[in-house]
């Protein structure tokens, strides 16, 4: 809960200037923000599927509203409608899966399910087929929520259409809670089905690597690029989860911490650029050319963040991917280990391409955009706190990661 609250505060502070500029300082926005934090923080504490469904629905309804909060933008309205339609389908999958499990077992409590599924006599009953299918549907619904391929198709459209402060919140906060809940009921209630959901994790990890990496290579718009790159990050996370080992689960949450700090750093740049420039959205990755030309310290900081996300040693992004890779190797999954290395190299390409645009792109089109922005970028106090904290942790956490490894260890213990 404290982790979710801290990340929410960072996302709110990081988008402070953007909220001021776009007049989002309203009672409704902050009320929805607090309700969203409540629903996200309460989700991992649920010990039955009824509570999980209620918290997920509360979270989803708030997210639909936040995505379409900018009523003056047709893009925001479109994003909210798309999110609502696809999210309703995801909720239907979740509810259908829960119904099948209840029909087969007669209970939705995790403790009861664990005891019942541990009974060998249960496996002689045809109800076991309903449990497998129900778990598969619930798994697909959660993969939709965390933007794991092939259920990721909503995230580029929602990120692009929503206000930058809302996309910032979507990208940073919910994933750690959703993945914690998914791992909780998989490793606790469905421990005896581990051979099944381990295979599901591997399959969805492969799809996430493939769709996320190859789609991100082709992107030129900033928010869509970040949406597809987050799909690749989810692939690294669930690849570590597929090991079903204590060290693998610990590395999942450590990767989530690193991913959150990297997202805070990068998204704070986006909201900062939106607040400084006269165009409404930082539409294209080439727009980051402006940062280095008008404030070289910010440009250098952005370069460090991009190197860290790409996984260049000894920065924190490399440590997160390295720990994920080690978990898979220790589990003996040679094929998945090869896939991780392959797509880590591909992800380096499209992140370093952004570095090229920041420091070395001298095209006439980008030069012309200099006249649309202020002559020199200045950072407010709140922006400096968010960006400096995110930059420090995302770049140098790998040097002394003991504190966050300990927190990840404690979170993993709470799953069982």
Region 103-118 average pLDDT: 85
pLDDT score recorded for residue 362 = 62
- Would you call 221 helix, strand, or coil by DSSP? strand
Residue 251 near residue 404, CB atoms below 8 Å: no
Mind listing the pLDDT tens digit for each residue in 361-395?
A: 666 444 444 445 554 556 667 777 777 877 787 77
pLDDT score recorded for residue 374 = 53
DSSP character at residue 222: H
Q: Which is more confidently placed, 399 or 252?
A: 252
Between CA 205 and CA 240 the distance in angstroms is 9
Tell me what the pLDDT averaged over the chain comes to. Answer: 83
Up-side HSE of residue 371: CA atoms within 13 Å toward CB? 4
* Domain extent for 245: 2-413
- Its pTM surpasses 0.85: yes
- Count of CB atoms within 10 A of residue 54's CB? 14
Segment (H or E) for 85 = helix 74-105
Lowest mean pLDDT among 97-106, 150-159, 369-378: 369-378
Region 158-166 average pLDDT: 85
Structure tokens at 102: 């209840």
Rounded percentage of the chain residues whose pLDDT exceeds 90: 16
Lowest mean pLDDT among 31-35, 117-121, 183-187, 246-250: 117-121
The total domain count for the chain is 1
Bridge partners for 109 per DSSP: 48
Alpha-carbon separation of residue 246 from 1, 85, 329, 410 (angstroms): 21, 37, 14, 11
Lowest mean pLDDT among 202-211, 248-257, 296-305, 372-381: 372-381
pLDDT score recorded for residue 52 = 92
pLDDT score recorded for residue 99 = 92
Between CA 353 and CA 284 the distance in angstroms is 13
Region 207-236 average pLDDT: 89
Q: Which is more confidently placed, 35 or 398?
A: 35
Mind listing the pLDDT tens digit for each residue in 325-344?
A: 998 998 888 888 899 989 88
Between CA 318 and CA 394 the distance in angstroms is 10
């Amino acid at each position: 809960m404290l982790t979710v609250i801290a990340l929410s505060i960072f996302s709110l502070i990081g988008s402070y200037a953007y909220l001021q500029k776009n007049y989002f300082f309203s009672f409704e926005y902050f009320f929805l923000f607090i309700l969203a934090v409540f629903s996200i923080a309460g989700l991992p504490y649920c010990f039955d599927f009824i509570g999980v469904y209620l918290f997920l629905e509360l979270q989803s309804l708030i997210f639909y509203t936040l995505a379409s909060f900018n009523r003056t933008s047709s893009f925001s309205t479109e994003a909210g409608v798309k999110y609502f339609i696809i999210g309703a389908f995801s909720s239907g999958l979740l509810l259908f899966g829960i119904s099948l499990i209840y029909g087969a077992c007669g209970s939705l409590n995790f403790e009861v399910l664990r005891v019942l599924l541990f009974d060998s006599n249960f496996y002689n009953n045809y109800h076991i087929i309903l449990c497998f299918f129900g778990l598969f549907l619930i798994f697909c619904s959660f993969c939709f929520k965390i933007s794991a391929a092939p259920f990721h198709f909503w995230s580029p459209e929602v990120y692009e259409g929503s206000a930058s402060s809302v996309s910032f919140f979507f990208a940073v906060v919910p994933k750690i809670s959703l993945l914690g809940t998914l791992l909780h009921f998989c490793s606790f209630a469905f421990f005896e089905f581990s051979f099944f959901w381990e295979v599901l994790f591997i399959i969805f990890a492969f799809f996430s690597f493939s769709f996320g990496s190859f789609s991100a290579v082709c992107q030129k718009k900033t928010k869509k690029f970040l949406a597809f790159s987050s799909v690749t990050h989810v692939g690294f996370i669930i690849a570590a989860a597929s090991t079903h080992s204590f060290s693998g689960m610990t590395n999942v949450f450590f990767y989530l911490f690193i991913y959150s700090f990297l997202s805070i750093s990068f998204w704070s740049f986006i909201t900062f650029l939106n607040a400084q420039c006269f165009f409404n959205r930082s539409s294209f990755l080439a727009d980051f050319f402006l940062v280095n030309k008008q404030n070289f310290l910010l440009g250098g900081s952005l370069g460090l963040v991009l190197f860290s996300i790409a996984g260049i040693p000894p920065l924190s992004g490399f440590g997160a991917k390295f720990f994920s890779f080690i978990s898979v190797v220790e589990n003996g999954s040679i094929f998945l280990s090869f896939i991780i290395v392959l797509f880590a190299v591909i992800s380096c390409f499209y992140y370093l391409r952004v570095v090229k645009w920041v420091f070395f792109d001298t095209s006439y089109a980008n030069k012309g955009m200099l006249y649309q922005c202020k002559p020199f970028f200045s950072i407010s106090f709140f922006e400096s706190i968010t960006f400096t904290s995110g930059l420090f942790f995302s770049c140098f956490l790998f040097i002394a990661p003991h504190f966050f490894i300990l927190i990840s260890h404690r979170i993993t213990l709470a799953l069982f």
